[in-house]
Chains A and B, each alone.
Chain A
């Protein structure tokens, strides 16, 4: 199994600013994903973080708003840019090996935008 950590665990930010969330996996994983969980709702996939290349974004999410980096097989960052109160959510990082079925999740980053 993989253990995933995220930093920060929570933050309160002012509108118009940006926040970068870090995700660290304790073992190499083929695939990493970023999810958003808005208040009272389920998880929605933002993008798949690809090592050494641009992330693959889901419909409704764009790189200018959510730039993602993945420099190696154990680390990724998600930036929430030019934040507005509507960005207040929990952001979760996830990892999965292509040869395994189970997907592992980090504890999430709880973001509040004022």
Chain B
């Protein structure tokens, strides 16, 4: 059974810092991995999707990497801003399934 864990559970940083969020998964037979952002009352927003054959994806100040063999992914946020404050979730889709298994989330607070 796939299990997804995120570290740290919470993170507080001053504006402008670069930061890294970590995600680990137990079963390396994944089809893809997605990073989501969750804002209160607004559901989830997909940030980046990495296929199992890819090593990384970039979108603006966000960069996500994937090391499937070691069961790890990282989300790098450059030059953090207060608007980045949210809960970040990673989710994996196992090969052969259309269902996402979510991690425990990292609650990020960026202070001005």
- Tell me how far the C-beta of B91 lies from the nearest C-beta in chain A, rounded to whole angstroms: 8
CA distance A101 to B102 in the complex (A): 15
Main secondary structure of the interface of B (DSSP, over half): strand
Q: Are B103 and A103 in contact (CB under 8 A)?
A: no
Q: Which residue of A lies closest to B101 (CB)?
A: A45
- B49 at the binding interface (Cβ < 8 Å): yes
Q: How many residues of B contact A (CB 8 A)?
A: 21
CA distance A31 to B98 in the complex (A): 9
Main secondary structure of the interface of A (DSSP, over half): strand
CA distance A103 to B44 in the complex (A): 10
Binding site for A on B (CB under 8 A): 32, 34, 36, 41-46, 49, 51, 89, 91, 98-105
Binding site for B on A (CB under 8 A): 4, 9, 31, 33, 41-45, 48, 92, 96, 98, 101-108, 110
11 chain-A/chain-B pairs, Cβ below 8 angstroms: A9-B41, A31-B98, A41-B104, A42-B89, A44-B102, A45-B100, A45-B101, A48-B99, A103-B34, A107-B43, A110-B41
